Each structure stands twice: as structure tokens, then as C-alpha cells.
Amino acid sequence: MSEVFAFELENVSYRYREDEVSLQGINMKIRAGERVVLLGPNGGGKSTLQKIVAGLIFGEGKFLAYGKAITAQAMRDKEFAAAYRRKIGFVFQNSDVQLFCANVLDEVMFGPLAMGMPYAEAMQRAQELLNFVGISSLTERMPQHLSGGEKKKVAIAAVLAVNPDVLILDEPTNGLDPKTQRWMITTLNALHESGKTLLVATHNLALVPEIADRAIVLGENHQMIADGSPDSVLNDRRLLLEANLIDESTQSANPLTQY
């Protein structure tokens, strides 16, 4: 594993308003090339943490990405912000908010064209990607005319089009059928094997051992309550109950054995 730290967070907190903490005192380091999954209850701060890491919102505390401080001031430098966005790809939970172009092809070509790639090259890249995600027949389709799974594939293709080093995914398997979920897992692992760093937020415990080497758990108090291997986290019944990831009726400590 790489010795380079992709992200270093020291005492990072975030509040949407003065008396409402969304994230409190987060300390963690993620190495380049790691596969990390973020677990936690609804409203625990997973999405907020991902948005901070993606440089979309800025909390209190210290946050470094590849050794550089990511602050509101730094992101005001358009050149720096563009380089950062190119390095970090973010796939939102709601694909609708991420797809803003007129059709699927424009959507996938948006990134490459924005970073100055010649049109023909961008077109070739887009076609390769659409083949890869299996929606090459939908190039002219408008995003609102796609199914949930197709939208998710377009969103992923659009993000992959700039070949980011880090992929942040918020609930990537939510609302997907089993076949598309399997495709998603296969794709994420293939991307990891090519050297990408993955930071995935999910509720889906069955997904954890398949896509992660490390699991970070956020509690209902918006603090980090565990950081370990998927096995150690999934076998800790007390921890899973505390994080509201299983309920009392779940018999086994490891929810995977339930299935």
C-alpha cells in the first residue's frame, strides 16, 4: 500500500447551524489506494464527511489532501480547485442532482472537454466509457428518461471520464437491482485494482467486506466510534447496535451470517 496519505483529518467538525453539530472531532488518515467504507446511522454525518473530503463544504479543524490544506480560501483559486476536482471524483447518492447536461453523451464528455481535451479524444473516451458501463445505446437519451440504475451508471461514467485518483461514492448501491449492484461491486474493485482510492458511504453491511479493506463507523453522536478491518467491525455486535446499524432482533453479531 502507498505510503502517501491521500487524506489527513485532524479534529474536523462541521455544523449546519450554531446549535446543530453534523460532525464532531473527526481524526483519520486515509492512504492513497485504500478502500475505505463509511458506516453510520442516518444523519450520522457520512455524507457531510464525504462532502468535506471532496472540498465541497468546509468544516472546522485541519484537513489535508495529498499534503495540501483544503480550505475555502485554497478552493477560491480556480486552478487549484479544478485540479482538486479532477483528482477527486464524487458520485452523489441522488444521481438526478449530478446529471445536468442535455443527454448522456454530453454528460460524459463534460469533464474531458472542461479539462481541455480535444473533442475527438473526449468523444472516444466517452464511447469507451459508455461501452464499459453498458449503456452505449443510450447516448442520445435525456437523463430524465433513464431508469435509476442507468442514471447511476451515467453518473459514474461522467465522474470516471476525468480519471480521478480518488472515488467518493455516497450509497452507491441504493435503489439498484441485484444485477446492477453486482456490476457496481465488480467495477469498484476493478477501479481499486487500477490504483484508485475508494471512500464509500453505505448502510448496506453486506457490501462492506466486498468493497473495503477498512471500515470507519460514525455514531449517532456524529463522532467516529470505530476504525478497523471490516471483519472486526462486523463482528462487534455492541458497536453495530451503538451505531444503529443493526437492531436488537438481529441474532448474530455479524449481520452477514443472517443472509
Partner 1 sequence: MRVSNTTSALPQYLTVSEQQKLPTARKTWWQRQDYLEKTLVDIHQVIVKNLYQTDVRVRSSFLQSLEPRVKVLSALFLLVMSALTRDLVSLAVFQGVLLLVALLSGLRLKSYLGRVWLPALGFAGVAVLPAIFSWITPGDVCFFIYHDFSLQVGSFMLPRELAITQQGLTVAAFVFLRAITSLGLVVLLMATTRWSMVTKALGKLGMPAILVMVLDMTYRYLFLFLLLLGDYILGRKSRVVGGERYRSELSWIGAALAGFLRLIVEYSREISAAMVARGYTGESYNELSQPFSVREACFFSVVVILGIVLWGGERLVRSICV
Q: In the complex, which residues of this chain contact partner 1 (CB under 8 A)? A: 16-17, 20, 32, 51, 54, 56, 65-69, 73-90, 92, 94, 96-102, 110-111, 113-116, 125, 128-129, 132, 144, 158-160, 162-163, 165, 182, 185-187, 189-191, 193-196, 209-210
Closer CB to partner 1, 36 or 224, in the complex: 36
Closer CB to partner 1, 12 or 168, in the complex: 168
- Give CA–CA dist 96/125, Å, rounded: 23
- Give CA–CA dist 138/130, Å, rounded: 8
- CB of residue 117 to partner 1, shortest distance in Å: 9
Closer CB to partner 1, 241 or 256, in the complex: 256
- Give CA–CA dist 27/25, Å, rounded: 6
Closer CB to partner 1, 101 or 253, in the complex: 101
Task: Return all residues near 196 (Cβ < 8 A) that are at least 6 apart.
Answer: 33, 164, 165, 166, 167
- CB of residue 248 to partner 1, shortest distance in Å: 26
- CB of residue 179 to partner 1, shortest distance in Å: 14
Closer CB to partner 1, 194 or 249, in the complex: 194
Task: Return all residues near 218 (Cβ < 8 A) that are at least 6 apart.
Answer: 23, 38, 39, 40, 41, 44, 45, 46, 49, 224, 225, 243
Closer CB to partner 1, 40 or 143, in the complex: 143
- Give CA–CA dist 28/63, Å, rounded: 10
Closer CB to partner 1, 72 or 248, in the complex: 72
- CB of residue 193 to partner 1, shortest distance in Å: 5
Q: Are 128 and 120 in contact, with CB atoms under 8 Å apart? A: no
- CB of residue 236 to partner 1, shortest distance in Å: 19
Q: Are 161 and 111 in contact, with CB atoms under 8 Å apart? A: yes
- Give CA–CA dist 134/156, Å, rounded: 12
- CB of residue 107 to partner 1, shortest distance in Å: 9
Task: Give, for 9, the enclosing helix (H) or strand (E).
Answer: strand 5-17
- CB of residue 118 to partner 1, shortest distance in Å: 13
What the block records as the C-alpha cell of 184 is 457496481
